[in-house]
Structure 1
Amino acid sequence: MRTLTLAGAVACLATGALAQEVVRLATEGAYPPYNFINDQGEVDGFERELGDALCARAGLTCEWVVNQWDSILPNLLGGNYDVIIAGMNITNERDALIDFTQPYMPPAPAGYAALSGDADIAGGTVSAQAGTVHAGHVADTGATLLEFATPEETVQAVRDGEADAVFATHDFLLPIVAASDGEMTIVGEPVIIGRGVGMGLRESDAELRDRFDTAIAAMKEDGSLNGLLAKWFPDNSPQF
């Protein structure tokens, strides 16, 4: 789904996560259907269900931590939690700093949504969440990039006339467009970005990474991971 600016990341001084009784999983809680906060105030979504299943398969006791996107990586490195499971795209830049499991989601198509089908996505103003692969893509196209801290703000910028279009994953945008009663529409062709979504861990936690890797591989093998992808994402979304 997204990548994060690495500026400000701190060196990891924490001991291995498996030395603790509870493994702490961090997510943003603001990017449905990947992760969101439900009406009961709990973490919900595809990654909540997946994370719980992976912890059970790995024989781990896990708890969920909600952290804002712009500090989610520094707080991992600082030892505030042990794993990031938040729609984080595996990128070369981040892979040089932390470890990743194998992808639990293939690269997902992204695209533009606007109030009009003839919105200027090439030369106009396009909103995207700050510090993401989507913001980087917009900047590379030559359009004027308008960044916001949260996904909701990027959509609201289009509705308020601040941006001509918003660029994000189709998994995030399609339900918003469908619920807009014709106010918004998808513009242009899908764009594939990134190497897939994985769990991010400190380099010192290789054993924990391996346990989650084994659990992800098992869910791919028995089809249960594709079952979760089919449950939470549109029918045409990529699967393993």
Structure 2
Amino acid sequence: MKTFTATASIAFASFAFAISAHAGEVLDRVLATKTLTVATSASFPLASFIDDMGQLDGFDIEVAKGIAKYLGVEAKFVTPGWDIITSGRWEGRWDLAMGQMTPTAPRAKLFDFPAVYIYGNSVAAVHKDSKATKPSDLDGKVVGVSAGSSEESYAKHTLEMYNAPPVKFQFTPKEVRGYESANSAADDLRLGDGVRLDGVLDEELSVKAKIKAGYPFKIIGEPLVSAPAVIAVLHGDKEFSDKVAAAVKSMREDGTLSKLSIKWYGSDQTALK
């Protein structure tokens, strides 16, 4: 019995040490390498996109750089598919995700959401030649979405907002077609009404940016969903999560967040209206 007790005590101590050793694993890695690796998109204007110089730019990119500066490190960007980011299978390849993620109940099982940094709306858009005037006109139609996005969940009637009332679904499509990015879906819609798609679901600011750039689209009806957009980190490193939260809080308090939103979107989208 004494031997068993001693063995159990050693095992418990080893287990407790292992937990302690990994308590700040992500933050330790970031500080040791002087690098914050950020997973984002290369095709999400005006949040994150490739500019004329071949560099990533946009609102999310500048916010991520601000977080890195607060931590005293450099920001490094990687651009995996959004479905890979939201799967949670990061395997240490990046430290946080910047993609104006909608906090949903399923995602909360995988991620911590240390900070809300902007608010957004999901909308339905159609080709300008479409006769559709409201989301319900997309009943029985083919809609395009970014794979793994909250818009895909909405279209499939599986969207569960985190700590929020149930979502009201305004239409039931015949087919939900997932794309690597919302830009790819938009490229199919711009071919013409009903050629490949009858409509797309995307973030409102992104759709408006496309329309301004010459895409022959129109937004139909009111937003499908209004929600905060969050930074996502994997569960397991509260110290790192707290540092990210503090960085965004600092940018909010000194006006940086608001200024960046006005720079990229023409208005302050960082406060709940």
Task: Place the TM-score, normalised by the shorter chain, in its bin.
Answer: 0.7 to 0.9
Aligned residues: CA RMSD: 2.3
SS of alignment partner, residue 81 of structure 1 = coil
1:18 to 16, 27, 30: 27
* 1:8 match: none
2:147 to 106, 112, 130: 130
Say whether the 8 Å CA contact 2:40–2:98 is kept in structure 1: yes
Give the C-alpha shift of residue 50 in structure 1: 0.7
Q: Which segments of 5 or more consecutive residues in structure 2 lack a partner in the other structure?
A: 1-21, 158-170
More helix by share: 2
Say whether the 8 Å CA contact 2:85–2:97 is kept in structure 1: yes
**Percent identity (aligned):** 24
Say whether the 8 Å CA contact 1:117–1:186 is kept in structure 2: no
Residue 50 (1) aligns with residue 63 (2):
yes
* 1:159 match: 190
Q: Deviations over 1:51-82 (max 9, x none)?
A: 11122123233322222222124576311111
Aligned partners of 2:242, 2:41: CA distance in 1, in Å?
A: 23
2:103 to 87, 90, 100: 90
Q: Deviations over 1:82-121 (max 9, x none)?
A: 1111222222211111212121112x11212222352232
Structure-2-length-normalised TM-score: 0.74
* 1:102 match: 115
Say whether the 8 Å CA contact 1:220–1:226 is kept in structure 2: yes
* 2:210 match: 176
Give the C-alpha shift of residue 27 in structure 1: 0.9
Q: Which segments of 5 or more consecutive residues in structure 1 lack a partner in the other structure?
A: 1-12
Aligned partners of 2:182, 2:79: CA distance in 1, in Å?
A: 15
Aligned partners of 1:14, 1:38: CA distance in 2, in Å?
A: 38
Say whether the 8 Å CA contact 2:258–2:269 is kept in structure 1: no
Amino acid at match of 2:121: P
Consecutive aligned runs of 4 or more in structure 1 exceeding 6 Å deviation: none
Give the C-alpha shift of residue 168 in structure 1: 0.6
SS of alignment partner, residue 163 of structure 1 = coil
Aligned partners of 2:241, 2:82: CA distance in 1, in Å?
A: 21
Change (3 A) 1:201 1:237: closer
Say whether the 8 Å CA contact 2:88–2:111 is kept in structure 1: no
Structure-1-length-normalised TM-score: 0.84
Say whether the 8 Å CA contact 1:229–1:239 is kept in structure 2: no
* 1:78 match: 91
Say whether the 8 Å CA contact 1:17–1:23 is kept in structure 2: no
Change (3 A) 1:94 1:16: same
Of structures 1 and 2, the larger Rg is shown by 2
Aligned partners of 2:196, 2:67: CA distance in 1, in Å?
A: 41
Change (3 A) 1:158 1:236: farther
SS of alignment partner, residue 117 of structure 2 = coil
Residue 111 (1) aligns with residue 123 (2):
yes
* 1:142 match: 172
Say whether the 8 Å CA contact 1:14–1:78 is kept in structure 2: no
Say whether the 8 Å CA contact 2:147–2:180 is kept in structure 1: yes
